[in-house]
Structure 1
Amino acid sequence: MGKRIGYARVSTDDQNLDLQRDALALAGCSVVYEETMSGKSADRPELGHCLKALRSGDTLVVWRLDRLGRSLPDLVGIVSRLEREGAAFESINERIETTSAAGKLIFHVFAALAEFERNLIRERTRAGLAAARVRGRKGGRKPALAELQIREIKALLKDPEIQVASVAARYGVSRTTLYRYLSKNIHER
């Protein structure tokens, strides 16, 4: 039988890990990786160390599902990785574990819901873009410079005494943006 390794996370410094520590200790975790980091952050170093420490036969234990994944698709990805590597997963609060057939079924229902959610978002995005195109709108950012501004910039830059950096600052854009607009207009003619 493998080790039970815990992962505990709180989002801010003023939150306390004690509740999670106690629950993970009661669940038989010999090692607990802890971090204070927003769940939205993709860079969670302690989670990375925890996942590297897991071996085939080990079980990753968390207090609640939201302590592990940033989103349902992220959670599914992490647990799928564990499964591929021969490790199990357990969430104490939700009573989900992937060591039994019933636990795997529940988790895969979550995975199916996550896939369904991704497909719905994709369909809504496509429908919204199509509806916008029908109304004559195109996606993307609004242009940083209007046609009139581009003409003014060209006129200003004909004077060798005027520096590109000062023109860019005057119009509130970077020199790179200025050059991109100028080269774009040259190629369009």
Structure 2
Amino acid sequence: MQLGYARVSTDDQHLHLQHDALQQAGCEQIFADHGSGATADRSGFQRLLAYARAGDIVVVWRLDRLSRSLKDLIDVVTLLDTKGIGLKSIHESIDTTSSAGKLIFHIFGALAEFERTLIRERTHAGLQAARARGRKGGRPKALSVDQQALAVKLYTEKQHTIAQICRMLGISKPTLYKYLADASAAGTTNA
């Protein structure tokens, strides 16, 4: 059985074009969603998954109606494949029920994995280059070393409350506690 899936990104858009194309492709039932493909709450797609059985084929007008990213598309196709459900895209003329269609998706999957590996390698190389230049990653400290020492001193003198110290220095309680823990670990306070 061919089952259609249609999606538009906003409520202002209409499903007519997709609906007509899916009916013309022979879909016996059409499931639809209104909303971004990036959101996890796609109730129409979830109903389609619950309804579809092994041997069925999910038909979409275009692949971007099914997913926003290549990684997500590959995840969806893998999910459908594990359930024995095929996928057809009208616009791209892709059909995973054929050996050529499966080959195309395996190539897509390999390219997506290659892209993820390249991103990891570039990120790692960038971090190493920054470290070699003496740069440390992470968020900058809220207070200078002198201000941190002042925070510790104000805390150990016990003349001000935690809230007062935080207000004076413009920091949050967790930030103050972090500075106190760092000072304690360094042995500069008995906090």
What is the TM-score normalised by the length of structure 2?
0.86
Q: Which residue number in structure 2 is paired with residue 59 of structure 1?
A: 57
**Secondary structure at the residue paired with 1:183?**
helix
**Secondary structure at the residue paired with 1:61?**
strand
Q: Which residue number in structure 2 is paired with residue 157 of structure 1?
A: 155
- Mapping of 1:118-133 within 5 angstroms? 118-133=116-131
- Mapping of 1:91-170 within 5 angstroms? 91-158=89-156, 160=158, 162-170=160-168
8 Å contact kept, 1:58–1:88:
yes
**Secondary structure at the residue paired with 2:75?**
helix
| Aligned-partner Cα distance in 2 for 1:45–1:168 | 46
**Secondary structure at the residue paired with 1:47?**
helix
Q: Which residue number in structure 2 is paired with residue 90 of structure 1?
A: 88
CA-atom RMSD, angstroms? 2.1
> How far has the Cα of 1:158 moved from its partner?
4.2
Identity %: 52
**Secondary structure at the residue paired with 1:173?**
coil
Q: Which residue number in structure 1 is paired with residue 185 of structure 2?
A: 187
| Aligned-partner Cα distance in 2 for 1:133–1:57 | 54
| Aligned-partner Cα distance in 2 for 1:179–1:117 | 41
8 Å contact kept, 1:62–1:92:
yes
| Ranges in structure 1 where 5+ consecutive residues have no aligned partner | none
| Ranges in structure 2 where 5+ consecutive residues have no aligned partner | none
| Aligned-partner Cα distance in 1 for 2:63–2:36 | 14
| Aligned-partner Cα distance in 2 for 1:129–1:53 | 47
What is the TM-score normalised by the length of structure 1?
0.86
Larger Rg: 2
Q: Which amino acid aligns with 1:70?
A: R
How many residues are aligned here?
Answer: 187
